[in-house]
Structure 1
């Protein structure tokens, strides 16, 4: 009658928890009634169907004419919150002699993320979008500039130092200053140790950065992540957050990410080699396409993971975005200190602040037990959604300024046209008056003076 197994239930669903008794055994013991009292320890995580954390069921066997071999009691529970809790249930049996037997049991329930169709669509669309973006970037690459960057890798070295020197320490500092719990602290630290992501290439294109440097930095950071991530995780990460945890680094996913980037970029470079006239068209559409994809990730991603916003408190919501935002600023400052031009300062700042959050998701999912692994990904979700917010604001300001300046330009153009028109009319009028006076003078010269007298 007591269960030793652990139940796993997706949140936002209703699950039937069945307790089964052997009818024959009860009849042999002359049991007349069964009273069951079930209590949920944390009602924030689970609730019974009657929206309470406690339910009582009574079965009178003296009037029960069913001849089934078992007696089943179904408890319908609703999973509401991502966590773990216990359901305690007390079974009281009363026989014909009024003798009472008590049995206390409990079962552990883990609540997991919902298995929704929209989630599957969103996750399966990401690899195809990343491939499409990488092919576009490959078409826009300039081999001559890439060779120069490889031969003089100062900018790439600055980006590497910012990526794997600054970002992990920024994440560590934020978690300690604002006193994150170890679970969420490790979540932010994992994000800070990840290589750059493809979003940085899109933002570099949108804000007129150096796409060649951006792509090369993303490639180098992904390649060196095989060494740098273990160094950070097994030293500072293990010491500061999770002493006894065996951290699992998804090397297979890193290899897949690296292969996807290299193959997609190569495809783009091959396409532009055989069809060089295609490059201007891609250059013309890459900005609007990148903006649309950014909004797709933000809007659809928010819709898919909306349930996770319940796990974000005000402190995390205000401080977690500091990781990418401070990364942008410090990355740009370091590039400025090393006397890089404005285009490369922008590029290095963007590459520093944008992380491949998908790698952090995998590290957290495979390194932590359920459901703590899913809870810790809330931090990565905040970073993925909030990291690009300053750029959305900049895009909005640029759009408004462009519209306002365009309106002013039209007004100025109209004023200039009116001035030109008035000037032309005045000149024509002056010419007419001069011509009229000349004609009058000419006519007067033809008239004899005696006739006038």
Structure 2
């Protein structure tokens, strides 16, 4: 369960995370994206094409309760997370493309998230309070806009805000470990293996499919790594915030299981993937990348 204090703390952390995301952007970034939308189109297809489909398949073929299936769908329909930028940097990917894909998927998510959620939830006969989700998403765009204004007014303030936003996204995982998990230990022990499989598989399958998709389009390995990480690393804090502010009681706790477990395991999965990416040193790596920005 999530208490009133934790709800307030969660809301504050989400605000700062989204503020940092906005501080990483300038109007010029959107201008460049519109001039060369190829990479962003790939990212949007990966985020709202592949990931919701992966979530739908997992929810369909795994034997899980309706609340868990709903948690899988919500997690699968989230935009890219800010931690993907960190892993992209350490995996020697295209950081500029990563940041832009993350924010673009967040902005377009105001429209696309409710659409894909309603589409797949209807196919599974699940109820989605889409109005509450839309309101939450719109409100979360406010700190993004504030972050952009801060960046415009002062580059130094924008850089500090961006750093704290990214750092807090990682701290969020620690917060879950010391707060939510101990008090829900019995619930986690009773959770079925299928739920754990979905929580791990969502990110792992997303990264794999994203990478194969990018390579099939003959993108440079740096850009392929970026698309892979942006596809598989979803915004776990946003998913949890939507659930906390949309559902109540034991239902919210059950729905939250997959986003919480996903947020924990995606760090491990992404770390392993990053180590594999860093070891790649083929001739193709030395070529000038096909610029998507």
TM-score of Structure 1 vs Structure 2, range by shorter chain = 0.7 to 0.9
Match of 1:385 in 2: 264
Q: Does 1:201 align with 2:89?
A: no
Q: Does 1:311 align with 2:190?
A: yes
CA distance in 1, matches of 2:219, 2:169: 26
The residue number in structure 1 matching 2:113 is 225
Give the Cα–Cα distance (whole angstroms) in 1 for the partners of residues 184 and 27 of structure 2: 40
In 1, the alpha carbon distance for the partners of 2:117 and 2:229 equals 20
CA drift of 1:225 comes to 2.0
Write the distance in 1 (CA, Å) between the matches of 2:205 and 2:242: 19
Contact 2:24 2:158 in 1 (8 A): yes
2:138 aligned with 1:258, yes or no? yes
| 1:274 shift after superposition | 1.9
Q: What's the CA shift string for 1:216-275, capped at 9, x where partnerless? A: 1221123322322222222x222xxx6xxxx132323322223322x2122122222222
Measure, in 2, the Cα distance between the counterparts of 1:375 and 1:285: 30
Task: Tell me if structure 2 keeps the 8 A contact 1:149–1:213.
Answer: no
Which structure has more relative contact order (CA 8 Å, sep 6+)? It is 2
Counterpart in 1 of 2:53?
169
SS of match in other structure, 1:272: helix
Equivalent position SS for 1:141: coil
Higher Rg of the two aligned structures: 1
Mind listing any 5+ residue stretches in structure 1 that lack a counterpart? 1-112, 399-453
Change (3 A) 1:359 1:346: farther
Is the CA contact (8 Å cut-off) linking 1:171 and 1:323 kept in structure 2? yes
Residue 314 to residue 220, structure 1, CA distance change in 2 (3 Å): same
2:33 aligned with 1:149: yes
Shift in alpha-carbon separation, 1:222–1:297, aligned structure 2, 3 A: farther
Matches within 5 A, 1:8-407: 119-177=3-61, 179-183=62-66, 186-191=69-74, 193-196=76-79, 200-208=81-89, 209=95, 210-234=98-122, 236-238=123-125, 247-261=127-141, 263-281=142-160, 288-353=167-232, 354-355=234-235, 356-358=238-240, 361=243, 365=247, 374-391=253-270
- CA distance in 1 between counterparts of 2:242 and 2:151 reads 34
**Secondary structure of 2:155's aligned partner:** coil
Given that 1:308 and 1:378 are in contact with CA atoms closer than 8 Å, whether structure 2 keeps it comes out as no
Query: Number of residues paired by the alignment?
Result: 267
The one-character-per-residue Cα deviations of 1:319-374 (angstroms, maximum 9, x if unpaired) are: 441112211221232233234444543443333221542377369947xxx86665
Q: Secondary structure at the match of 1:195?
A: coil
Relative to structure 1, is the Cα distance of residues 285 and 192 closer, same or farther in structure 2, using a 3 angstrom cutoff?
A: closer
C-alpha separation in 2, matches of 1:271 and 1:363: 27
Q: Is the 8 A contact 1:203 1:350 kept in 2?
A: yes
1 CA distance for matches of 2:145 and 2:252?
A: 36
Listed as ranges, the gaps of 5+ residues in structure 2 are 90-94, 277-293
**Whose strand fraction is larger, Structure 1's or Structure 2's?**
1
Query: Is the 1:332–1:345 contact (alpha carbons within 8 Å) kept by the matching residues of 2?
Result: yes
Query: Which moves more between the two structures, 247-256 or 132-141?
Result: 247-256
